Amino acid sequence: MGNEQSSSQKTEGKVDGRPVTFTLHHDESSQERELIWQEHETPSKGRLTEKDIIAALPVHAQVPDDYSILFVAPNEAVDGDTKASPVVFRSLLATKLPLAFIHHFQPTGNACWQLRADNGKIPNLHIVVSSGSGTGKAEDVWIKLLKAMLEHVCPKADSYALHFTSSEHTVTELTREVFLPQANEGITQAIILLSGDGGLVDIVNALLSSSLRSKRYTKPNISMLPLGTGNALANSTGITSDNTMGLRNLLQGITKPLPVFSVHFSPGARLLANEAREEHALHNLNGTATVYGAVVCSWGLHASLVADSDTHEYRKHGAERFQMAAKEALYPSDSSAAHGYKGRVSFQRPSSKDWVKVERDTHGYVLATLVSQLEKGFTISPASKSLDGKLRLIHFGDLGGQGAMDLMTQAYGGGKHVEDKRCGYEEIAALRIDFDEDDARWRRVCVDGKIVRVEQGGWVEVRSGVETVLDLIVDERH
Ligand SMILES: Nc1ncnc2c1ncn2[C@@H]1O[C@H](COP(=O)(O)OP(=O)(O)OP(=O)(O)O)[C@@H](O)[C@H]1O
């Protein structure tokens, strides 16, 4: 990584043609870099901090000293508009940058921007703008950030397909009609997804629910721009660790297989949609209702608060909605106690077929996950590493509102809840729940934000190790 021992490196160069002195500061403890330049002919100074920088790209082989620095700047037009992109795209032309800066910010050889030409073939590029995700910022982020960057990086690249969602079915239909047939024909596809976890999981389900994957099937690769509410995958893979809304990750990341789990339900289970006003049958895999997930499968407090907060009114509050719904679930406004969820929970440890029973009949929280964070700062599984494919179980009993709140607060404090004696935490291969609840409200299961209601006396089984059907683009230097 170049001359990183030097905490400060100077060069004489130019910014947009004006002579300057560059100074690169590198704080060894925080690993933050900052590029400062002092103009020679005016008193003006410039400054770029690491978190705002997308990449440094060489301009042309014939001008080896020239680099285009791509970065983001705050969007002055936000002014309380929850649909506005928080940042906008900017670039400048820099000549004779400090070498350590170039070494750090120039995408490496196997980074995905170049990977778009996989084995010499130019892949089909698709951009999916999920307008219903999060608080509705995706369209503005497309215009102010991604489109602006594409026009800068490859002005001739008009050969992408642009898709806007118009309903909750758009991504599934697009996958069935375009992504799957093309993948089956062996065509490499790069998909830039402006959505939360839901968009990605819709693609995973549509790909896996087809029995029609051919021998030539070629995994699409997906870059996520985190535009959802929780953005669990983006938070857990470092995509949100800078201010570039996933653009640095897009230019600097490499492909990694996306681990997936399957969730099988007893007959009669229904997917709830449209604020639970609609019910849909699930995909039938050899006679068993099945859903696939890449983030989380839960029952108890987590599933209830995701289900209860998935309304138009709650969604306006962004990620706050989860905490608002948690308060209502733990301290109900009718002064009743937090619910204890009745059922039998068992699990299989990795490389064992024996079912281990959780020794209690009433539960507060039962959650299996492949990721470390369910939303920014909510570290539900601190041992989980980015895309490690390990399913982990977090569970505790009916501790009452205050007990559950204590553990949740510890999860917001870096994941300390797993050290609390009241909380069970371990790697598993499978989880089974047999429900003993009469009221359907307490038989709701969450799979990556989707809610499935299980029939009375029914069960659910979660299994890790499903064949991976797509690659995620991840910058592993995070
Ligand atoms: N134009 C639209 N009209 C109706 N529904 C839409 C539209 N666009 C997207 N959706 C649906 O809205 C949901 C958004 O889910 P997504 O996960 O992307 O965002 P989120 O739920 O806010 O974030 P997260 O899952 O990260 O917490 C998906 O179910 C998607 O199908």
Take atom 1 of ligand 1 and give the residue whose Cα is closest: 166
- Read off the pLDDT of residues 19-45 as tens digits, 9 standing for 90 and up: 999 999 998 888 889 999 999 999 999
> Could you tell me the pLDDT band of residue 173, with boundaries at 50, 70 and 90?
very high
What's CA 211's distance to the chain center, in Å? 26
Whether 394 contacts 410, CB under 8 Å: no
- pLDDT score recorded for residue 322: 83
> Residues near ligand 1 with C-beta < 6 Å?
130-134, 165-168, 171, 195-199, 202, 228-231, 449
**Beta-ladder partners of 128:** 163, 193
Considering the domain delimited by 261-465, tell me its CATH architecture: Sandwich (2.60)
d(CA 272, CA 280): 7
The residues, any chain, with a CB within 8 Å of residue 363's CB and separated by 6 or more, are 299, 300, 340, 341, 342, 343, 345, 395, 396, 397, 398
Take atom 13 of ligand 1 and give the residue whose Cα is closest: 133
Ligand 1 mean position, distance from CA 189 (Å): 22
CATH code for the part of the protein at 8-105: 2.30.29
Q: Which of 123, 212, 184, 112 is nearest to 153 (CA)?
A: 112
Whether 212 contacts 184, CB under 8 Å: yes
Ligand 1 mean position, distance from CA 195 (Å): 7
d(CA 151, CA 146): 9
Ligand 1 mean position, distance from CA 406 (Å): 30
Domain positions in the chain are 8-105, 112-258+470-474, 261-465
Ligand 1 mean position, distance from CA 197 (Å): 8
- pLDDT score recorded for residue 151: 87
Ligand 1 mean position, distance from CA 429 (Å): 29
> Could you tell me the pLDDT band of residue 333, with boundaries at 50, 70 and 90?
confident
Take atom 12 of ligand 1 and give the residue whose Cα is closest: 132
How large a percentage of the chain has pLDDT more than 90? 77
pLDDT (mean) for 398-416:
95
Ligand 1 mean position, distance from CA 332 (Å): 27
- pLDDT score recorded for residue 291: 97
- pLDDT score recorded for residue 12: 97
Q: Which of 195, 225, 291 to mutate to test the pocket of ligand 1 (most atoms within 8 A of CB)?
A: 195
Take atom 4 of ligand 1 and give the residue whose Cα is closest: 167
Give the ligand 1 atom nearest the CA of 233: 26
The residues, any chain, with a CB within 8 Å of residue 40's CB and separated by 6 or more, are 18, 19, 20, 21
Whether 196 contacts 229, CB under 8 Å: yes
Give the ligand 1 atom nearest the CA of 199: 18
Ligand 1 mean position, distance from CA 209 (Å): 20
In this predicted structure, the answer to whether residue 224 has a pLDDT above a threshold of 90 is yes
Please give the DSSP secondary-structure letter assigned to residue 123: P
Q: Which of 82, 83, 128, 130 to mutate to test the pocket of ligand 1 (most atoms within 8 A of CB)?
A: 130
**Beta-ladder partners of 73:** 88
- pLDDT score recorded for residue 1: 42
Q: What's the residue count for the chain?
A: 478
- pLDDT score recorded for residue 315: 78
- Read off the pLDDT of residues 429-459 as tens digits, 9 standing for 90 and up: 999 999 999 999 999 999 999 999 999 999 9
Ligand 1 mean position, distance from CA 298 (Å): 19
- pLDDT score recorded for residue 213: 84
- Read off the pLDDT of residues 63-109 as tens digits, 9 standing for 90 and up: 999 999 999 999 998 888 989 999 999 999 999 999 999 999 999 87
Q: 3-class SS at 148? A: helix
Q: 3-class SS at 2? A: coil
What's CA 235's distance to the chain center, in Å? 6
d(CA 392, CA 410): 18
Please give the DSSP secondary-structure letter assigned to residue 103: H
Give the ligand 1 atom nearest the CA of 164: 1
Whether 35 contacts 52, CB under 8 Å: no
Whether 290 contacts 283, CB under 8 Å: yes
- Read off the pLDDT of residues 344-354 as tens digits, 9 standing for 90 and up: 999 999 989 99
Ligand 1 mean position, distance from CA 204 (Å): 15
In this predicted structure, the answer to whether residue 288 has a pLDDT above a threshold of 90 is yes
d(CA 174, CA 346): 37
Chosen CATH of 112-258+470-474 out of 3.40.50.10330, 1.10.3720.10, 3.30.830.10, 3.30.1340.10: 3.40.50.10330
Find the range with the poorest average confidence among 22-26, 109-113, 114-118, 214-218.
114-118
Q: Where are the alpha helices (DSSP H) in 39-117?
A: 99-105, 112-115
The residues, any chain, with a CB within 8 Å of residue 297's CB and separated by 6 or more, are 261, 263, 367, 368, 369, 431, 445, 446, 447, 448, 460, 462
Q: Which residue has the higher pLDDT, 171 or 335?
A: 171
**Beta-ladder partners of 224:** 193
Give the ligand 1 atom nearest the CA of 135: 22
Give the ligand 1 atom nearest the CA of 449: 25
186 phi and psi, to 5 degrees?
80, 15
Take atom 8 of ligand 1 and give the residue whose Cα is closest: 132
How large a percentage of the chain has pLDDT more than 70? 95
Please give the DSSP secondary-structure letter assigned to residue 240: T
> Could you tell me the pLDDT band of residue 211, with boundaries at 50, 70 and 90?
confident
Whether 451 contacts 304, CB under 8 Å: no
What would the two tokens of residue 364 be?
């507060």
Ligand 1 mean position, distance from CA 88 (Å): 23
Angle at 431 between CA 428 and CA 435, to 5 degrees: 155
pTM of the model as a whole: 0.92
- pLDDT score recorded for residue 157: 57
Take atom 25 of ligand 1 and give the residue whose Cα is closest: 197
- Residue 120 backbone class (left: φ over 0; alpha: ψ -120 to 50; beta: rest): left
The residues, any chain, with a CB within 8 Å of residue 166's CB and separated by 6 or more, are 131
Take atom 31 of ligand 1 and give the residue whose Cα is closest: 168
Q: How far apart are the first and last CA of the chain?
A: 14
- Read off the pLDDT of residues 130-164 as tens digits, 9 standing for 90 and up: 999 988 999 999 999 999 998 888 766 567 889 99
Ligand 1 mean position, distance from CA 271 (Å): 15
Q: Interface pTM (ipTM) of the complex?
A: 0.96
> Could you tell me the pLDDT band of residue 115, with boundaries at 50, 70 and 90?
very low
Report in angstroms the alpha-carbon separations of 246 from 53, 54, 71, 157, 193. Answer: 11, 9, 12, 20, 10
